[in-house]
């Protein structure tokens, strides 16, 4: 291999996925050929990007790869470019790791489905689209890749068309996703009309000094468009429907990959393209959206009876953590956000695969009809618990490390700015974590422990290939939790530094010194310090304990059920909530999945009633939410800029 051969690896990693999809379309009728092509394509793409860790992550190189030779006409760059810095490589690695694991899992999980060749074609095209999105340096190419991944996601959501709600979920996804894609395209058109270029680096050198009316509108369009891809509030119901209907291997991709594509694009437009994150109003917007997403979605998860829908709401809740952290505009916050984005791909992917394993063996996702599966599926139970401990922030698993850093980042932001609102964000994050743990106590009890229903007595463990895929993610959850310093030093901190190195990104594509020569206020490379308190610092643990007790108090008080007052209001409590010990073999004291937090839900009944009415399930309402969100975003941009 020549010294410069690796410069071609980004485009090769994308091409191999689309080429693999093409080969499966030609030769995919034979099972062995189809499986081999899918595994090889995903493994080669992952291997090519792993090779780039040393030059890009560790050595700080930015790869600028032009498809054809770069041409300049009238001072504007012409041609499509790939631009790979540590940030884009970070997200690209998440894509390829998730794809590889999903492919391994699919070999046995999907073997009884029809039209398997179409499944693998769509899977590779979907991930190829996301990979192209995070590696491209061209705005219009970003839109093309968004369209590819949206079409692939819609088709895979409806792949098991006989599953109840699959076609409906795909239709909702298509409508709201189409609105998002239209917003992105319109935003790109407005930017091109003003700047006469589509190159992201050159746009970043022109747009920040020309924030006129059309530019502000373009910003709002792009922000809303990419928010639909991240499924943050108010676009979260679409994710729940899609996860509930799609195969578990695709839920891994939607949760671990598609949501990250939206977060990546939001980072690019806020930090690079418009360079507006120095404004407190923009920090407030992202932190507020993240905080609302994490809290609303975790409360929605508490009342779900379907295994996969519950996980879907938790997925968006965890994305709320990521958006909150990157919205702080601090080096520690950004490193923490990226760490949690990586962890989210791992533990949420593991949880969805575990749910898929349960569905594969039982045909059931209703929590009220499951129970006692640890006796029949011990390996799946152990792997699920690793994922549950991770998402709940239990040490020493990876979710604890990244959440700990997010708590620190929000608290330090409050201290540095004197803004008590950031301390409130810390409390919201802790309350969300408490509710997450409570929710997974419910899931664990409802699915894997308690009494085994008679109809499930013959259930067996899933095949080795499915356990292998889950085992890979479980191992990564443990390793990235045990060695947080290695993760931050070699992965998240280089990516965070890239975010604050806009000038280097521009110069890599346009030539050395370009940013300095054309920008009125060229971005200077800041002095970045990742000041953080160690995971085991006793003072920080004391502070965390105090805030946790406050969070627990909020949850406990709000969930307390006063039977006397309930009777006075005419609300007769259900006798099934009374403790009893019968002794008869036919009577069990197992609490159903819908009963575990009955008191909490009763005291919050007005909130949950409001959320129930708000989430009508009607696609017209969700489309209206998108339009209203766009109108509010435009109004906000016009006011604050």
Per cent of the chain over pLDDT 90 is: 58
Number of other CB atoms surrounding residue 529 within 10 Å? 9
For the cut 70, the answer to whether the pLDDT of residue 536 exceeds it is no
- Please give the average per-residue pLDDT across 300-311, as a whole number: 88
pLDDT band at 76 (very low <50, low <70, confident <90, very high): low
Q: Return the pLDDT at 588.
A: 44
- Distance between CA atoms of 565 and 159, rounded to whole angstroms? 50
pLDDT digits (tens, 9 = 90+) for 15-47: 999 999 999 999 988 999 999 999 999 999 999
Higher model confidence: residue 133 or residue 453?
133
pLDDT band at 495 (very low <50, low <70, confident <90, very high): very high
Average pLDDT of the residues of the chain: 86
For the cut 50, the answer to whether the pLDDT of residue 575 exceeds it is no
Q: Return the pLDDT at 222.
A: 96
For the cut 70, the answer to whether the pLDDT of residue 598 exceeds it is no
Contacts 24+ apart (CB under 8 A), 437-442: 437/392, 437/393, 437/394, 438/302, 438/555, 438/597, 439/298, 439/301, 439/302, 439/310, 439/314, 440/388, 440/391, 440/392, 441/596, 442/302, 442/367, 442/593, 442/596, 442/597
The structure's pTM equals: 0.90
Q: Return the pLDDT at 561.
A: 42
- Please give the average per-residue pLDDT across 341-359, as a whole number: 95
Give whichever of 157-166, 207-216, 377-386, 408-417 has the largest mean pLDDT: 377-386
For the cut 60, the answer to whether the pLDDT of residue 191 exceeds it is yes
For the cut 60, the answer to whether the pLDDT of residue 264 exceeds it is yes
Alpha helices in 258-397 (DSSP H): 259-267, 280-302, 307-327, 331-362, 378-391
Please calculate the CA angle 199-204-209 and round it to the nearest 5 degrees. Answer: 135
- Distance between CA atoms of 478 and 481, rounded to whole angstroms? 5
- By mean pLDDT, which of 15-29, 91-105, 598-612 is the weakest? 598-612
- Distance between CA atoms of 331 and 528, rounded to whole angstroms? 6
Q: Is 542 exposed, middle or buried (0-12, 13-18, 19+ CB in 10 A)?
A: exposed
Per cent of the chain over pLDDT 70 is: 85
End-to-end Cα separation, the chain, in angstroms: 50
pLDDT digits (tens, 9 = 90+) for 460-477: 999 999 999 999 999 999
pLDDT band at 591 (very low <50, low <70, confident <90, very high): very low
Buried b (16+ CB within 10 A) or exposed e, 72-90: eeeeebeebbbbbbbbbbb
- Please give the average per-residue pLDDT across 365-379, as a whole number: 90
How many whole angstroms from its chain centre is CA 86?
19
Q: Return the pLDDT at 576.
A: 43
Give whichever of 43-57, 413-427, 608-622 has the largest mean pLDDT: 43-57
- Output DSSP code: residue 7: G
- Assess contact for 179 and 251: CB atoms under 8 A: no
- Distance between CA atoms of 435 and 432, rounded to whole angstroms? 5
- Please give the average per-residue pLDDT across 361-381, as a whole number: 90
Please, which residues have CB within 8 angstroms of residue 51's CB and are 6 or more apart in sequence?
6, 9
- Please give the average per-residue pLDDT across 273-299, as a whole number: 93
pLDDT band at 69 (very low <50, low <70, confident <90, very high): low
Q: Return the pLDDT at 2.
A: 60
- By mean pLDDT, which of 254-263, 483-492, 553-562 is the weakest? 553-562
Task: For 46-93, give the DSSP string.
Answer: HHHHHHTIIIIIIT---EEEESS--EEETTEEES-EEEE-HHHHHHHH
């Amino acid at each position: 291999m020549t010294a410069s051969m690796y410069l071609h690896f980004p485009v090769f990693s994308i091409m191999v996925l689309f080429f693999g999809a093409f080969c499966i379309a030609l030769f995919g009728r034979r099972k062995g050929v189809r499986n081999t092509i899918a595994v090889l394509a995903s493994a080669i793409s992952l291997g090519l990007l792993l090779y780039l860790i040393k030059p890009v992550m560790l050595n700080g190189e930015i790869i600028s790869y032009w498809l054809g030779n770069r041409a300049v006409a009238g001072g504007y760059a012409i041609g499509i470019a790939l631009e790979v810095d540590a940030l884009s490589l970070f997200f690209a690695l998440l894509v390829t790791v998730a794809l590889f694991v999903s492919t391994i899992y699919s070999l046995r999980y999907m073997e009884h489905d029809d039209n398997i060749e179409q499944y693998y074609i769509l899977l590779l095209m979907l991930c190829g689209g996301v990979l192209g999105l995070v590696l491209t340096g061209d705005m219009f190419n970003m839109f093309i890749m968004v369209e590819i991944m949206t079409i692939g996601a819609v088709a895979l959501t409806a792949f098991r068309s006989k599953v109840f709600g699959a076609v409906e979920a795909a239709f909702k996804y298509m409508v709201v996703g189409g609105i998002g894609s239209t917003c992105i395209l319109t935003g790109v058109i407005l930017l091109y009309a003003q700047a006469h270029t589509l190159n992201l680096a050159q746009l970043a050198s022109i747009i920040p000094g020309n924030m006129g009316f059309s530019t502000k509108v373009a910003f709002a369009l792009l922000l809303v468009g990419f928010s639909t891809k991240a499924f943050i509030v108010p676009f979260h119901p679409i994710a729940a429907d899609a996860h509930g209907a799609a195969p578990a291997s695709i839920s891994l991709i939607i949760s671990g990959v598609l949501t990250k594509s939206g977060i990546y694009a939001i980072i690019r437009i806020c930090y690079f393209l418009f360079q507006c994150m120095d404004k407190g109003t923009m920090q407030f917007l992202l932190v507020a959206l993240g905080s609302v997403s994490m809290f609303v979605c975790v409360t929605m998860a508490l009342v779900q009876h379907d295994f996969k829908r519950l996980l879907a709401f938790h997925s968006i809740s965890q994305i709320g953590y990521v958006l909150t952290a990157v919205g702080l505009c601090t080096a520690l916050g950004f490193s923490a956000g990226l760490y949690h984005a990586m962890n989210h791909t791992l533990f949420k992917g593991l949880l969805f695969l575990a749910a898929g394993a349960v569905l594969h063996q039982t045909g059931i996702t209703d929590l009220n009809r499951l129970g006692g599966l640890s006796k029949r599926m011990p390996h799946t139970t152990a792997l699920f618990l690793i994922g549950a401990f991770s998402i709940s922030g239990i040490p020493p698993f990876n979710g604890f490390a990244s959440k700990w850093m997010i708590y620190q980042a929000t608290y330090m932001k409050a201290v540095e700015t004197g803004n008590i609102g950031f301390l409130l964000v810390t409390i919201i994050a802790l309350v969300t974590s408490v509710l997450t743990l409570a929710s997974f106590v419910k899931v664990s009890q409802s699915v894997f422990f308690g009494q085994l229903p008679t109809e499930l007595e013959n259930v067996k463990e899933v095949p080795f290939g499915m356990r292998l895929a889950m085992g890979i993610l479980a191992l990564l959850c443990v390793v990235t939790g045990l060695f947080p310093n290695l993760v931050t030093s070699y992965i998240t901190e280089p990516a965070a530094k890239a975010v604050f190195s806009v000038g280097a990104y521009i110069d890599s594509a346009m030539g050395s010194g370009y940013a300095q020569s054309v920008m009125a206020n060229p971005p200077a490379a800041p002095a970045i310090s990742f000041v953080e308190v160690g995971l085991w610092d006793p003072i920080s643990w004391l502070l965390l304990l105090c805030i946790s007790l406050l969070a627990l108090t909020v949850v406990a008080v709000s969930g307390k059920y006063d039977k006397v007052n309930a009777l006075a209001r005419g609300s007769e409590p259900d006798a099934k909530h009374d403790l009893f010990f019968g002794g008869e073999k036919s009577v069990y004291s197992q609490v159903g999945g819908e009963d575990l937090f009955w008191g909490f839900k009763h005291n919050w009944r007005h909130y949950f009633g409001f959320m129930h009415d708000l989430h009508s399930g009607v696609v017209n309402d969700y489309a209206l939410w998108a339009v209203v969100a766009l109108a509010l975003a435009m109004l906000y941009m016009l006011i604050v800029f």
